[in-house]
């Protein structure tokens, strides 16, 4: 089974995203911030096929999380989807420059998430 990590400080968003990903064939692990996400990924023996992260989270925001992820050779090629309320083009460009694979703005629909999974080649 494909593994996905969802990092968002909103329990509601984590739940919605997790349900979409489960329907798309993923086993999902949820964390509340980037620090918990990087710790989990570094300590977990499972291979993650996808990471979904919010930009605005406490302790370690999504951009810091992506920087930490990309600095670890094990995760340099893991697809990362930033799902955020940050809509400014400069934020999007910054995220992509630091290794975000796809960028989705909130609110999102299931169709948008599924389309991004196809683009990332992680959908069945």
pLDDT band at 19 (very low <50, low <70, confident <90, very high): very high
pLDDT band at 123 (very low <50, low <70, confident <90, very high): confident
Q: What is the mean pLDDT of residues 47-72?
A: 95
More confident call, 123 vs 12: 12
pLDDT band at 115 (very low <50, low <70, confident <90, very high): very high
When divided into structural domains, the chain yields a total of: 1
**12: CATH:** 3.40.50.2300
DSSP code at position 88: -
Segments forming the whole domain that contains residue 7: 2-119
Sheet holding 48-53, edge to edge: 26-31, 2-7, 48-53, 80-84, 102-105
| Within a domain: 71 | yes
| Within a domain: 37 | yes
Q: Report the candidate in 37, 112, 115 with the shortest Cα–Cα distance to residue 29.
A: 37
| Within a domain: 10 | yes
pLDDT at 1: 83
């Amino acid at each position: 089974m494909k593994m996905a990590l969802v990092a968002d400080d909103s329990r509601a968003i984590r739940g919605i995203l997790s349900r979409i990903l489960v329907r798309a064939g993923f086993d999902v692990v949820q964390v509340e911030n980037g620090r918990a996400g990087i710790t989990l990924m570094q300590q977990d023996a499972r291979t993650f096929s996808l990471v979904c992260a919010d930009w605005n989270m406490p302790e370690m925001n999504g951009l810091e999380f992506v920087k930490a992820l990309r600095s670890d050779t094990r995760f340099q090629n893991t697809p990362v989807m930033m799902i955020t309320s940050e809509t400014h083009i400069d934020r999007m460009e910054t995220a992509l420059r630091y290794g975000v694979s796809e960028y989705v703005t909130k609110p999102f629909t299931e169709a948008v998430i599924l389309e991004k999974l196809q683009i990332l080649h992680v959908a069945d």
